[in-house]
Structure 1
């Protein structure tokens, strides 16, 4: 009887050891295209736990200080969804950018790199519209002077 108990205990432990959460992101990269300098560009990466155990994200590490991550802090149960949000501060950073947020979790793939990219257009480079100018009257040379107006005739009161 003891042998049977230990066999089932071992089998149960082995099954739990193989239980693993799996993070499956809808997309692992996002292109903002062109954004104006000073814009706070934010994108939310959504994922589903397709595994058999809860997934816990322990950290999301940005590649630099201009990118701020936020993520689902509570365990994500199998079949449920979570998110990782990446915000890029474009102030003072004109030109192309390509930033990563490294997600660290207890999933089957413990580290996953998410990428955001785009191009920051410097302030003041937008096409400016010139102020409207009143039309200037044109003068034609050798034009005949306008005929003087004739005084109107008075009607007599008869």
Structure 2
């Protein structure tokens, strides 16, 4: 058993030493491919959808603990192709976003609704909702905040 471990170690060590002699990985990059990719990326950006929100932050103000409060953010596609929101995730399980599943055409507006459950969330609260999109950035964010008045203890 010991002999097998020594042999295996020697083989692995030789593989590591031989593979490291390959040289600099940057020398293997084809600069023509890099230039073509940069050109392609610029062209994609020209026709990409763009998101404009009516506001990026909503403050609920002061609310009592135990209630579900909600708001909606208007999303306008100011780009040149359809805007697709593939997913929306909140920074906390107490916040639930609902987003349009259909593409938003250029110039059209839709809504992203956000519900916040204040149960068990006393005091100052701030939550982020991340929208996963086909925009150049790939992600867009909106935020909600508010002051939750704790329930009175019995």
Counterpart contact for 1:31–1:118, Cα < 8 Å: yes
Provide TM-score, normalisation by structure 1. Answer: 0.66
Is 1:101 the counterpart of 2:101 in the alignment? no
Residue 85 of structure 1 deviates from its aligned partner by 1.2
Residue 124 of structure 1 deviates from its aligned partner by 3.5
Aligned-partner SS, 1:86? strand
Aligned-partner SS, 1:87? strand
Q: Which of the residues 81, 91, 104 maps onto 1:53? A: 81
What pairs with 1:8-157 in structure 2 (closer than 5 Å)? 17=44, 18-124=46-152
Gapped regions of structure 1 (runs ≥ 5): 1-12, 126-158
Aligned-partner SS, 2:101? coil
Counterpart contact for 1:67–1:99, Cα < 8 Å: yes
Q: Distance in 1 between matches of 2:51 and 2:101?
A: 14
Q: Distance in 1 between matches of 2:137 and 2:54?
A: 15
Q: Deviations over 1:102-136 (max 9, x none)?
A: 011002332111100001101239xxxxxxxxxxx
What residue in structure 1 maps to residue 31 of structure 2?
A: none
Larger Rg: 1
Q: Deviations over 1:70-111 (max 9, x none)?
A: 001100000001111111100121111000000110023321
Gapped regions of structure 2 (runs ≥ 5): 1-39
Counterpart contact for 1:70–1:86, Cα < 8 Å: yes
Provide TM-score, normalisation by structure 2. Answer: 0.68
Matched residue count:
113
Aligned-residue Cα RMSD (Å) equals: 2.1
Structure number having the greater helix percentage: 2
